[in-house]
Amino acid sequence: MEAARAAVARLWPGRAAKVAELGGGITNRNFKVEVGGEVFVLRMGGAKTDLLGIDRAVEYAAGKRAFEVGIGPEVTAFVPDQGWLVARFIDGSPLSVAEMRQDEVLARVVRALRAFHDSTPIPGRFDAWAVVDGYRTVAESHGVGIPAQFGGARKIAERIRSARGPQPLVPCHNDLLNANFLDDGAVQIVDWEYAGMGDRFFDLANFSVNHEFVVDDDRRLMRAYFGVERDTDLASLRLMRFMSDFREAMWGVLQSGISELDFDFDAYATKHFARMMASAADSDFERYLRAFSDGTRAAPED
């Protein structure tokens, strides 16, 4: 809290402020700051987050873009040398995992995602294959043992990349956990630290798997997003759920070696490895891989 108060004194010099810590973060610390009749969130980047591939300048640019397209809070300050980011506080309600399956809520989520995906390019690049490889390299350099599942998972990942082929790059969030959505009359998305130009199907799959969607839910998601039903869209989504969990698993592996937080990163990695391998063991997984064998790729646009 002392560090937060010092940051507030620097950001709002000479002004009385009320500071309270917000819970929920694993990588960073977030504080609610009330000053001059306005309310903000001060985000203080955690230690060694650059090893996770986080670029605070990219996060800042993505947050600004989210506000421009109406799906995120206004970013009001950025202090690069400290990793501080200030945005206006959203007085919104959380959306539960169950609510995300409701057609009306799902439609609003899709509108928000499409608004960002269809916007002009942002800085940064997010490639799930490069991320898992990078996490492995950094973890090994910090003396972290790599789980035995990695080798087999990486082979499956390569089959997914080969089956789908090159994909158009669009602005993506890449961390669509339930906690990163708020409802203030519109769906607002926060925490843009993993944002970058990437594959929209990673975003969609990340949202799907984090909200425990089953195949029928994913069909509705694809129909809401594209306005039509295409087998290759569903196949891309179901395959990229594997990549989403692979990223999460290796994030946990790396964090177990570099983080000073009191959090069971080993259990986190184990959970995502298990869910990832369950996806690959699904009876339809091979069919999804074959969906592109006729030369048709999952269409990125309507």
**Domain-by-domain residue ranges, the chain?**
2-90, 94-290
Task: Give me the residue label for tokens 């973060």.
Answer: 25
Dump pLDDT digits (tens) for 194-241: 999 999 999 999 999 999 999 999 999 999 999 999 999 999 999 999
Dump pLDDT digits (tens) for 138-176: 999 999 999 999 999 999 999 999 999 999 999 999 999
Options 3.40.50.800, 3.90.1200.10, 3.30.2270.10, 1.10.630.10; CATH for 94-290 is 3.90.1200.10
Q: How many CA atoms lie within 13 A of 262 on its CB side?
A: 0
Predicted confidence band at 253 (pLDDT cuts at 50, 70, 90)? very high
pLDDT at 211 (0 to 100): 97
Q: Which residues are registered as beta bridge partners of 75?
A: 87
pLDDT at 302 (0 to 100): 39
Q: How far apart are CA 206 and CA 84, in angstroms?
A: 26
State the DSSP string of 129-194.
Answer: HHHHHHHHHHHHHTTPPPPTHHHHHHHHHHHHHHHH-----EEE-----GGGEEESSSEEE---TT
Options 1.10.3720.10, 1.10.150.300, 1.10.940.10, 3.30.200.20; CATH for 2-90 is 3.30.200.20
Same fold, 2-90 and 94-290: no
Q: How far apart are CA 137 and CA 142, in angstroms?
A: 9
pLDDT higher than threshold 90 for residue 299: no
Closest CA to 202 of 160, 168, 244, 234: 244
Dump pLDDT digits (tens) for 10-52: 999 999 999 999 876 667 789 999 999 999 999 987 767 788 8
pLDDT at 28 (0 to 100): 77
Global pTM reads: 0.92
